[in-house]
A and B are shown apart, each in its own frame.
Chain A
Amino acid sequence: MSGVAEDLATILSSGIRLTAPLVFAACGEYVAERAGTLNVSVEAMMLGAAFGAIAVAGLTGSATVGLLAGVLLGALVGAVHGALSHRWHVNTFVVGLVLNALVLGLTSYLVTVGELGRHQVAQVSVPVLRDLPVLGAPLFVERWPVYLLLALVPLTWWLVERSRWGLELRAAGENPEAADMTGIRVNLRRRQALLWCGALAGLGGAYLAVGEVGSFNQNMTAGRGYLVIAAVIFGGWRLGRTLAGCAVFGLADALRLALPALGYTVNSQLLVSAPYLLALLAMLLFTTRQRRPGALARPFRRTS
């Protein structure tokens, strides 16, 4: 009996660790997409931040400063993406893909040039609660940035659904022409949303580096950015469902890693492709019913 409970705790624990970076980035991508940008450069934001976090942690000797640097680097990618696609009107997919290629190349290049070493933020373990059966260890023994999610998720929801800024943001994503008519600066809002997206995706990538892994290796995000895009689509552009999507994807990943070790046979290809398959199915089944932002991926340009 205790064997099953232990297995469960192990899978749950690794599931949470694999889900957390996705959730950070998904909170960002959610905002960008509600503002109308189908942002493909999440991967670049996360990977650049992961590299920057470890590099700066090495320079300053502080993993926390590294984490902050990661956030800034993610935001920088967001700023570049925003400037190119919403100021100079380059196709946003093109910008995203090129940024992904650029950051992958740059980080792969730089990581081979110098020693980066290991840097990791502290682990927090909540007394009493950590002793709960099954759930205790997975939920209450974590690297501290995970607990930022307790604030960031509600903040994201409030920003988009309740604040004036979020209202304008959603208007920019839903009907940019009408938003423009009422005096909302559509492309400015979209650039701001990309900045927020970059900062949060950067936090996710930095968490992966200085939180979970403690070091940087080439292409360490390995497509997690694309997974985040799939999560937002899977979630039908609603925050709650998006996060549920992240949890499903993180758990599938954890199962892929854990089940063979526990002696079960699973088809790993099926588990790896599950998120993408689910996202495609979700789009096929629910596109018309779900709240896809009306102007998603459509550039806005004043025609006056």
Chain B
Amino acid sequence: MTRTGPWLSAAIVAAALVLSGLLIAVTGGSPAAALRALVEGSLGDAAAVSQTLLYAAPLMLVAVGTCCSARSGAFNIGQEGQVLIGALAGAAAGLRLAVPGPALALVVLFAAALAAGAWAWLSALMNRLRGVDIAVSTLLMTFLAQQVVAFAVTTPWLLQESRWGAAAALPQSNRLPAGALLGSLGDHPGPQLNLGLGVGLVAALLMAVALGRTRWGFRLTVAGLNPAAARHAGIPVTAVGGVALAVSGALAGMAGAVLLASPLSTNRLQPDISINIGWDGLLVALIARDRPLLTIPVAGLFAVLRAGGSFLAATGVPPYLVDVVKALLTLAFVAPAVLRRRPGAA
């Protein structure tokens, strides 16, 4: 990044906020009140901050994974589906495996990563066998994943909630046992730190080291920057991209497990459990320009918007404004990256 980088970034954020403020004003709302609600709702007190940190964890996981696949040149846009498959596998493991105590939480995370990694790797396989475009197949498979989860939670012999007497079973799974849940430090009204955040931060740190300091990361980056040169240097480009895609899927799957096993959900598998975390995580990675450590603050920003967004309604501003802000931010960040002709950005 050039020396003007931070200033330019600040100007871009400001421009996106001003545009959104104008939108509020034009539609008859109060931009100041909306901004206050956003900040109060996400950073105003201990409970709000806890909520923000809860959202930051899965966003970070998805984004860190996206950094990995994007650096290798495999453009994964199926994170939303991979999150869902992760949550599905996590729920299946948590409900079906008889692992004692907190070890079950680890099993849930691991199962989610494994299943979603394999799911994403299918796209790499299709690409290798028949040259199917990875962006297209990961996108199409997202819609499959939605139906797979819907099927699992509406089918009694799969994961649908068990009936209690005559009560109708809902399209959701049973609640995960306590041992499968990610623990938290602190209790709800006060500050609370969920284990999921730790998982996200560790993933970001490990990925930064792996991409920046290891032979694996170097080969992966070279394969992404110039496949022809990489092939010439003896790097198996397709295989490297396949692994990167699987890692990306695995991290998105872990995000699904975090959604399932943290206070963000009812700890049941539901068709809408992914709450667009996959799509948002992709935007986070785009803004962070595929740098794992940068995903930490950007995921934090998106988490602020998510947590604060639910407080917007009280000011009369529709909470969908938050989606507009996120899209504007992303657009503003991806466009000038290329205007400055940074190599590899296109």
Contacts and interface: CB of A to CB of B under 8 A. Distances in A.
Interface of A: 38, 40, 84, 88-91, 93-95, 97-99, 101-102, 104-106, 108-110, 112-114, 223, 226, 229-230, 233, 267, 269-270, 272-273, 276-277, 279-280, 283-285, 287-288, 296-297, 299, 301
Interface string B132-168: 1101110111011001101100100000000000000
Nearest to A218: B320
7 contacts: A88-B339, A90-B335, A98-B334, A106-B324, A109-B323, A112-B318, A280-B141
Nearest to A105: B323
B199 interface: no
B100 interface: no
A186 B162 CA distance: 59
B187 to A, nearest CB: 35
Contacts of B189: none
Nearest to B341: A89
A294 to B, nearest CB: 11
B135 A297 contact: yes
- Which 4 A-B residue pairings sit nearest by Cβ, starting from the closest? A105-B323, A102-B327, A108-B320, A273-B147
Interface stretch (B52-60, B90-98, B123-131): B123-131
Interface of B: 23, 27-28, 75, 77, 126, 129-133, 135-137, 139-141, 143-144, 147-148, 150-151, 154, 279, 282-283, 286, 318, 320-324, 326-328, 330-331, 334-335, 337-339, 346
B30 to A, nearest CB: 13
A276 B324 CA distance: 28
Contact of B328 (A102, A233, A283, A287): A102
A272 B317 CA distance: 34
Nearest to A103: B327
Contact of A109 (B77, B151, B324, B330): B324
Of A108, A112, A273, A285, the most chain B CB neighbours within 10 A belong to A273
Contact of B324 (A89, A99, A102): A102
Chain B interface, >50% SS class: helix
Contacts, number: 129
Contacts of A90: 334-335, 337-338, 346
Given A97-B77, A98-B283, A276-B143, 19 more contacts: A90-B334, A91-B75, A91-B346, A97-B283, A98-B327, A101-B327, A102-B324, A109-B27, A109-B321, A109-B323, A114-B27, A269-B154, A270-B151, A272-B147, A273-B143, A276-B140, A280-B137, A280-B144, A288-B130
Contacts of A102: 324, 327-328, 331
A94 B334 contact: yes
A280 B144 CA distance: 10
Contacts of A272: 143, 147
B140 A279 contact: yes
Contacts of B320: 105, 108-109, 112
A105 B20 CA distance: 11
Contact of B143 (A106, A112, A223): A223
A285 B327 CA distance: 36
A88 B129 contact: no
B136 A233 contact: yes
Nearest to B126: A284
A269 B147 contact: yes
* Residue from B126, B129, B135 with most neighbouring chain A CB atoms (10 Å): B135
Contact of A277 (B144, B154, B327, B328): B144
Nearest to A102: B327
Given A113-B27, A276-B141, A277-B144, A269 B338 contact: no
Given A102-B324, A105-B326, A284 B144 contact: no
B137 A283 contact: yes
A88 B331 CA distance: 12
A273 B339 CA distance: 39
Contacts of A95: 334
A226 B139 contact: yes
Contacts of A114: 27
Contact of B129 (A106, A112, A284): A284
A38 B135 contact: yes
Contact of A230 (B27, B77, B140, B328): B140
B258 to A, nearest CB: 22
A112 B27 CA distance: 10
A113 B28 contact: yes
B27 A110 contact: yes
Given A88-B339, A97-B282, A283-B126, A105 B327 contact: yes
Contact of B286 (A89, A94, A276): A94
Contacts of B324: 102, 105-106, 109
